[in-house]
């Protein structure tokens, strides 16, 4: 066992031999109900619901290799990548887990056996550390762990007790936690500090920790107290890169084989090797780490943007571009291909998202390239004058879009300082100017107005007063109402529409937008004749509010139905609730099969027909967690939360939206489309109530017309050939998102006959993709006819027909929306139609 790949597989195989279930890695993005961290920072994090008893684990013993990202919030190593030998933003964590099965003795036994017999580290060089205890937690030294190490043969003098900061593990401020014990390797006095009492816990490089065994037995509350978990659990973490470094006898994680594979690619394209200079060393480290980080982040659905984890990805890509340019690497996006080739056997999502990853990284690189070229020129001019003033740093950022972090990093390399105080002041002043001139500025305009009381849960019409008013010009004004029925944008539900009407004059102003504030709201209206203090009637039309309520409650039924059909891994990843339709994004790695889609639709309608009550109540957030209420990632919840419950606990979610009183009020539910919106995230669009009825009624009408047309066509096929159209042998239909894929095999027809039939089918089923084939006089004919809207989605009829024509021994051509082909092997026509059908369905899903 020498390579990183051998270590990865060897670890999993060893624990499989010890009755552990090999469990796949979770996403590097935590599930929506885990708001504790920006990224997955530990091997146990995707298994958290098993540890706290919210879900039943698939087995009491699990083993995983988890992809981990530490580049945001408290867990942020990004700025140190490149400067040290062991800092990485992305790494892999090998782990074995016991969920109420074995505890401290079992964990120590497994770790010791694997370390000696598989890693083959010298026994005399191994040390252990244990938790020394902590009075605030009411815990003493972990004597059970000490006895465990003594039992396997570790001398007492090589067992060191360390404080809570070193040997007590918790992933976040609250949640599962417990004492831990760690295994260290003594790398020799040459790397030490020279002190005779040097041992694990010293800051020198002699003793290196490589395996952490966490005894997960407590739950840490927000008040700092601990309570026992329902079961005693074990969570271990063996960093793959660090262990590989020790196995391979190198001093840096960047010298191990899987990092070197990326560095060889860089050297081949730049002629600059890893050790050529200080800059080369730093650049190679950054590129090796960031190539992996940007590949896995993008494959797991993160997109470059300016906030949160999206901003981290943008920084990762741009930092890689900057260092790549400095050693002559013109393009960094091809590094993602190296990562995919190297890592896909363990992470199949990389193959599925290969092209998407390359496109996203390349797009961000191209956008940043122009900024970098302009900004570097100005930076060099500024740096030539010495230390960088706050004004110059601000100009780089504000005028040239040069990242603040990059200015700081370049200055540090040159031994220059930046006037951070002035830079921060200028940034603050700029934000203040932007805020004061913003169209919907709230704080600056109506900061002194009383808070508005939202009464929209109970009422859609109310007599109230304008308690805050500001004319915006152009016939619009901002206002705050003493009481407001208007629901503001938030929680996936769009802002209400409606109007206010002046009681005395009857003047009317239409609501343009309801803006959500913390515990408050503000409204923007279009109209004249209003002023502060006016008494007004505020109205939300029931014809708009009711379908919005129906759609919002339907998203809760859909969420639960998706979990029942697809599994508990499904979590909401976004939504849009409007009066005309709903959109629901959810975590799932594959397209829905027709059977799954039908089952989900059926389950939602079953709950509608069951007429389940829908009730809302407020409760402390801890109580909501105890009830199992679903929470969304990224949402900020207060101490008291609003829970929406369907039935007797069939569904519980934290939600501030408006809802119907019973599921029967939703009416019919139908899925319009289902498709991918990124790695591991799917999207369903659906209709309820009147919109669903209108849609289904239209579909029935279309189906009746099509059946009549097909019946007529079949009738005509019985006539002599000279007066007939194509004779339909087989017809099948498949739904791909919002598009109907129609496949027809006919006989006694030429390409012109097929084209005429395809036009009729296309008109009757828009949007549709039609594939027709026929045998005629010893030849085969194919026609692919696509709705014009599909060209904008990247479909090309010519590519589809040529792929199919290869099976019938021919070729074809045409245009993007219609193409034809012929061949001399009609016996393979059915296969050719299947190839064309599969190509269309895959492209549309």
Fold (topology level) of 4-255: BirA Bifunctional Protein; domain 2 (3.30.930)
Q: What is the pLDDT of residue 434?
A: 46
* Measured torsion, CA atoms of residues 691, 696, 698, 701, in degrees rounded to the nearest 10: -160
**Residues composing the chain:** 845
- Cα 220–chain centre separation: 27
Backbone angles phi, psi at 131, to 5 degrees: -75, 125
Q: What is the pLDDT of residue 679?
A: 54
Question: Is a pLDDT exceeding 90 seen at residue 733?
Answer: no
Q: Which residues pair with 499 in a beta bridge?
A: 510, 539
> Residue 541: which pLDDT band, with cuts at 50, 70 and 90?
very high
Residues of the chain with CATH 3.10.310.40: 720-844
pLDDT at site 113 = 96
Q: Is the dihedral of CA 510, 513, 516, 517 positive or negative?
A: negative
The secondary element (H helix, E strand) that includes residue 602 is helix 594-609
pLDDT for residue 722: 40
What percent of the chain stands above pLDDT 70?
93
To the question of domain 545-694 being in CATH 3.40.190.10, the answer is: no
Secondary structure, 3-state, 289-307: HHHHHHHHHHHCCCCCCCC
Which residue intervals of the chain bear CATH 3.30.930.10? 4-255
Residue 581 reports pLDDT greater than 60: yes
Report the pLDDT averaged over residues 344-352: 88
Tens of pLDDT along 423-432? Answer: 888 877 766 6
**In this predicted structure, what is the pLDDT of residue 559?**
95
String of DSSP letters for 267-333: HHHHS--TTS-HHHHHHHHHHHHHHHHHHHHHHTT----SSHHHHHHHHHHHHHHHHHHHTT----T
The pLDDT score that the predictor gives to residue 377 is 83
Q: Which CATH number fits domain 443-540: 2.40.30.130, 3.40.50.300, 3.40.50.2300, 3.40.50.1980?
A: 2.40.30.130
Predicted confidence at residue 720, as pLDDT, reads: 45
The encoded tokens of residue 653 equal 């979610």
Beta bridge partners of 640: 620
Higher pLDDT among residues 110 and 682, named by residue? 110
* Six-digit token string for 378: 């100005």
Q: What is the pLDDT of residue 398?
A: 73
374 vs 613: which has the higher pLDDT: 613
pLDDT over 60 (residue 244): yes
* Model pLDDT, residue 496: 92
Q: Where in the chain is the domain with CATH 2.40.30.130?
A: 443-540
Query: Is the pLDDT score of 146 beyond 80?
Result: yes
Binning pLDDT at 50, 70 and 90, where does residue 766 land?
confident
DSSP-derived secondary structure letter, 593? P
Q: Is the confidence at residue 468, as pLDDT, over 80? A: yes
Q: Range with the lowest mean pLDDT among 28-37, 116-125, 270-279?
A: 28-37
Q: Mean pLDDT over all residues of the chain?
A: 87
- Please state the pTM of the whole predicted model: 0.55
Q: How many CB atoms lie within 10 A of CB 290?
A: 30
| Residue 565 scores a pLDDT above 50 | yes
**Alpha-carbon gap, residue 191 to 83, rounded angstroms:** 19
466 token code pair: 């304008």
pLDDT tens digit string along 641-670? Answer: 899 999 988 999 999 999 999 999 999 999
pLDDT tens-place string over residues 492-521: 898 999 999 998 888 999 998 898 887 789
- pLDDT value for 443: 40
In angstroms, the Cα distances linking 747 to 402, 575, 827, 830 are 65, 47, 12, 12
Least confident of 2-11, 156-165, 747-756: 747-756
**Which DSSP string do the residues of 744-796 spell out, in sequence order?**
EEEES--HHHHHHHHHHHHHHSSSEEEEEEEEETTEEEEEEEE-GGGGGGT--
Identity of the highest mean pLDDT range in 240-254, 403-417, 680-694, 821-835: 240-254
pLDDT for the residue 229: 82
Task: Decide if 499 contacts 523 (C-beta within 8 A).
Answer: no
Residue partners of 700: CB distance under 8 A and separation at least 6: none
Task: Give counts: helices (H), strands (E), the chain.
Answer: 23, 32
Q: Which of 261-275, 354-368, 444-458, 618-632 has the lowest mean pLDDT?
A: 444-458
For residue 194, count CB atoms less than 10 angstroms from its CB and return exposed for 0-12, middle for 13-18, buried for 19 or more.
exposed
Report residue 437's pLDDT band, with 50, 70 and 90 as the boundaries: very low
Query: Percentage of the chain with pLDDT > 90?
Result: 44
Helix, strand or coil, per DSSP, at residue 56: coil
pLDDT band at 639 (very low <50, low <70, confident <90, very high): confident
CATH 3.10.310.40 fits domain 720-844? yes
User: Who's near 813: CB < 8 A, 6+ residues apart?
Assistant: 798, 801, 802, 819, 820, 821
Beta strands (DSSP E) in 605-721 are 614-620, 640-646, 651-654, 669-678, 681-688
């Amino acid at each position: 066992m020498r390579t990183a790949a051998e270590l990865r597989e060897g670890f999993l195989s060893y624990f499989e031999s010890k009755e552990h279930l090999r469990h796949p890695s979770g996403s590097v993005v935590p599930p929506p109900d885990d708001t504790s961290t920006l990224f997955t920072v530990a091997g146990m994090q995707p298994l958290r619901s098993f540890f706290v008893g919210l879900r039943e684990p698939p087995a009491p013993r699990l083993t995983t290799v988890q992809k981990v990202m530490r580049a945001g919030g408290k867990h942020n190593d990004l700025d140190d990548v490149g400067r040290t030998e062991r800092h990485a933003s992305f790494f892999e964590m090998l782990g074995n887990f016991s969920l109420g099965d074995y505890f401290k003795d079992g964990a120590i036994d497994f770790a010791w056996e694997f370390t000696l017999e598989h890693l083959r580290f010298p026994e005399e060089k191994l040390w252990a550390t244990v938790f020394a205890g902590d009075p605030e937690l009411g815990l003493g030294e972990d004597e059970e762990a000490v006895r465990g190490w003594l039992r396997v043969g570790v001398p007492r003098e090589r067992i060191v007790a360390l404080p809570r900061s070193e040997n007590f593990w918790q992933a976040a401020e609250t949640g599962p936690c417990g004492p831990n014990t760690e295994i260290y390797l003594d790398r020799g006095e040459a790397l030490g500090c020279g002190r005779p009492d040097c041992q694990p816990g010293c800051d020198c490089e002699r003793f290196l920790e490589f395996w952490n065994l966490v005894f997960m037995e407590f739950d840490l509350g927000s008040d700092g107290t601990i309570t026992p978990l329902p079961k005693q659990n074990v969570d271990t973490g063996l960093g793959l890169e660090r262990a590989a470094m020790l196995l391979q006898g190198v001093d840096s994680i960047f010298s191990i084989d899987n990092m070197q594979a990326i560095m060889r690619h860089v050297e081949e394209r730049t002629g600059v090797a890893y050790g050529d200079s200080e800059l080369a060393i730093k650049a190679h480290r950054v590129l090796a780490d960031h190539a992996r980080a940007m590949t896995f982040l993008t494959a797991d659905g993160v997109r470059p943007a300016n906030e949160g984890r999206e901003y981290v990805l943008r920084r990762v890509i741009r930092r890689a571009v900057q260092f790549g340019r400095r050693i002559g690497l013109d393009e960094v996006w091809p590094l993602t291909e190296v990562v995919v080739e190297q890592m896909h056997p363990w992470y199949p999502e990389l193959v599925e998202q290969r092209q998407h990853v390359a496109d996203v990284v390349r797009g961000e690189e191209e956008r940043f390239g122009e900024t970098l070229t302009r900004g570097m020129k100005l930076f060099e001019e500024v740096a030539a004058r010495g230390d960088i003033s706050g004004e110059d740093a601000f100009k780089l950022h504000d005028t040239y879009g040069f990242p603040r972090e990059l200015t700081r990093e370049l200055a540090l390399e040159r031994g220059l300082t930046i006037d951070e105080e002035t830079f921060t002041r200028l940034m603050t002043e700029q934000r203040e100017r932007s805020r004061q001139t913003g169209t919907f500025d709230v704080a600056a305009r109506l900061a002194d107005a009383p808070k508005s009381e939202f009464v929209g849960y109970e009422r859609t019409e109310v007599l109230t007063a304008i308690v805050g008013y500001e004319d915006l010009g152009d016939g619009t004004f901002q206002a705050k109402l003493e009481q407001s029925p208007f629901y503001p944008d938030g929680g996936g539900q769009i802002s209400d529409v409606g109007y206010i009407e002046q009681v005395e004059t009857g003047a009317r102003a239409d609501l343009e937008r309801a803006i959500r504030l913390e515990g408050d709201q503000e409204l923007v209206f279009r109209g004249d004749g209003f002023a502060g203090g006016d008494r007004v009637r505020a109205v939300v039309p029931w014809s708009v509010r009711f379908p919005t309520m129906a759609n919002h409650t339907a998203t809760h039924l859909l969420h639960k139905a998706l979990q029942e059909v697809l599994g508990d891994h499904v979590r909401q990843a976004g939504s849009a609730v409007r009066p005309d339709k709903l959109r629901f994004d959810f975590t799932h790695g594959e397209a829905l099969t027709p059977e799954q889609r039908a089952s989900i639709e059926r389950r939602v309608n079953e709950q509608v027909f069951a007429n389940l009550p829908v009730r809302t109540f407020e409760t402390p957030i801890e109580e909501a967690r105890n009830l199992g209420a679903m929470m969304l990632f990224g949402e900020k919840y207060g101490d008291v939360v609003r829970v929406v419950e369907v039935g007797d606990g069939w569904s519980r979610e934290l939600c501030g939206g408006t809802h119907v009183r019973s599921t029967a009020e939703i009416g019919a539910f139908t899925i319009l489309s289902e498709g991918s919106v990124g790695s591991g995230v799917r999207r369903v669009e659906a209709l309820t109530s009147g919109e669903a009825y209108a849609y289904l009624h239209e579909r029935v009408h279309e189906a009746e017309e099509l059946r009549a047309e097909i019946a007529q066509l079949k009738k005509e096929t019985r006539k002599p050939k000279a007066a007939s159209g194509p004779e339909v042998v087989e017809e099948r239909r498949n739904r791909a998102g919002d598009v109907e894929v129609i496949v027809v095999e006919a006989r006694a027809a030429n390409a012109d006959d097929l084209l005429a039939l395809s036009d009729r089918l296309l008109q009757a089923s828009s949007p549709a993709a039609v594939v027709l084939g026929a045998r005629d006089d010893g030849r085969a004919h194919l026609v692919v006819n696509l709705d014009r809207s599909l060209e904008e989605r990247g479909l090309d009829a010519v590519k589809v027909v040529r792929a199919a024509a290869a099976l019938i021994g021919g070729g074809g051509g045409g245009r993007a929306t219609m193409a034809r082909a012929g061949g001399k092997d009609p016996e393979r026509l059915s296969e050719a139609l299947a190839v064309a059908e599969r190509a269309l369905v895959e492209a549309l899903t």
